[in-house]
Amino acid sequence: MLMIKKILFFLLIVIFSSCATKKEKLTFSRFIINDAKGRTEIKVEENGTIYISDNLIGLVDKEGTISTKHGTVLAEIMENDFVIDGNGNELVQIDKNGAVENSAGESITWSETGELLKDNQPIGLKIFPANRDSFQTASILLYLHLAIK
């Protein structure tokens, strides 16, 4: 009986340690980003499925990988909040609150009500619901959407 308990204990340690190898880098829940006219720009489902203008385009996972619907890795968020492309090149740094400084030195942030701001001025995009946990993911997807567009 003691031997069985030891084996079970060992198996539990192995299972927990293998689960711990995948680190959650992004937190998000279902959200929609609308433009000033109320049109949906980006929609993310609870499972990470990404739609742009109602077209399925890919998937984002909590480990920080953004891939196309065909499985091609577009980008990944690293531990230091840098976004790298599928080839490993650094693109931009976006912090946990979704804040980024663009190449012109302008600060891009989210307001508490979910408005996207450039130097504290609304720029016509809004996230619903305004959940701070989704701001980093929303900023990454917006960056990629605008860079690829």
The per-residue pLDDT for range 80-109, each reduced to its tens digit, is: 999 999 999 999 999 999 999 877 888 999
pLDDT of residue 24 exceeding 80, the answer is yes
Largest CA distance in the chain: 68
The reported pLDDT for the residue numbered 1 is 58
Encode pLDDT of 106-127 as tens digits: 899 999 999 999 999 999 999 9
Give the number of other CB atoms < 10 A from CB of residue 53: 10
pLDDT at 15: 55
In the three-class reduction of DSSP (H, G, I as helix; E, B as strand; rest coil), residue 143 is classed as helix
For residues 11-35, average pLDDT: 73
3-class secondary structure, 121: strand
Whole-prediction pTM: 0.82
DSSP SS3 for 135? helix
Q: How many CB atoms lie within 10 A of CB 101?
A: 14
